[in-house]
Amino acid sequence: MERWERDVVSPIVHRLIDRFVARGHADLVRELTFPFPIQVIAGILGLSEADLPQFHRWAVELISIAADIERGFNASQSLRDYFAGILAERRRNPREDVISLLAEAELDGQRLTDEEIFAFLRLLLPAGAETTYRSSSNLLLGLLENPDQLDALRRDRSLIRQATEEGLRWEAPLTGIARLATRDAEVEGVRIPKGAVIGVCMGAANHDPARFEHPERFDIFRPAKPHAAFATGPHTCLGMHLARMETAVVMNAVLDRLPNLRLDPAAEDVHISGFNFRAPVRLPVLFG
């Protein structure tokens, strides 16, 4: 994680900010929070920078499979074929990247098949790129709509961790997951038979008034309590440590390099939207 922060995440974030920092205005979604997580995934996989535009297109098409199923499946196959060439090369010449790690991983004499590796790599795209771009966008909007909290964060960077957790609680990037009931159960008077598929709304859990006082309010100073944005139990999100690190890097960079950051008063109707995946479509800001 420390190596990724130093060698991958921080350079990507600052390179993106370099493109608009002298302008005095930007759309932080389009120009920062949307592109940086997929570039991080490409970096930790050790992909060629020249391949990044095509890789990003395939990734977006795969992530958007619900909107266009055929295009999503085509992107999935294209990514599989693309990874096949890289995996074969990594087996010959391993590097310090995730693809090489997966190629060499062994447990009790068992190694991953090529298809298992391809499936894992494709899973990284929605898991590692889609959610992180949304969670960082949501956090930024929460802070921009509460300038006193943004100022407090600017003065005291030790607040970044609790601000990150509040952003995740307040507007989880992914609101729901599916779970399979392994036995008959009853929850709050509702009978759940064994084998039933349960739609678990993490967004609602994070707004439970019995657990969080004034749950609709964004408040980085609220008493710390575990939230459900990364799920819980044996299926807790494996990428949560990377997501938290990426968020800390992007927040520090924004606070360091974009002084007097504020929402563009000329912008209309800036808000978080979405059903299962939630984030603002745009985040127009002024600074300097």
- Whether 46 maps to a domain, the answer reads yes
What stretch of H or E contains 204? helix 202-205
Task: Give Rg (Cα) of the chain.
Answer: 20
CATH number of the domain within which 162 lies? 1.10.630.10
- Whether 212 maps to a domain, the answer reads no
Q: How many domains does the chain have?
A: 1
**Above pLDDT 70, what percent of the chain?**
100
Q: Which domain holds residue 167?
A: 2-171+237-286
* pLDDT above 90 (res 169): yes
Confidence of residue 265 (pLDDT cuts 50, 70, 90): very high
- Whether 201 maps to a domain, the answer reads no
Look up residue 152 and give its two tokens.
């407090």
Strand partners, 110: 107
Residue 259 one-letter amino acid: P
Q: Tell me, what's the pLDDT at 202?
A: 93
- How is 6-31 classified by DSSP, letter by letter? IIIIHHHHHHHHHTTTTTSEEEHIII
Q: Tell me, what's the pLDDT at 65?
A: 84
- Whether 207 maps to a domain, the answer reads no
pTM: 0.90
- Whether 193 maps to a domain, the answer reads no
Q: How does pLDDT run across 33-82, given as a tens digit for each residue?
A: 999 998 999 999 999 888 988 888 898 888 888 789 999 999 999 999 99
Segment 236-248 mean pLDDT: 92
* pLDDT above 80 (res 127): no
- Whether 254 maps to a domain, the answer reads yes
Mean pLDDT over each residue of the chain, to the nearest integer: 93
Q: Which of 65-69, 172-176, 266-270 has the lowest mean pLDDT?
A: 65-69
Dist. CA 93–CA 25, nearest whole Å: 44
- Whether 271 maps to a domain, the answer reads yes
- Whether 221 maps to a domain, the answer reads no
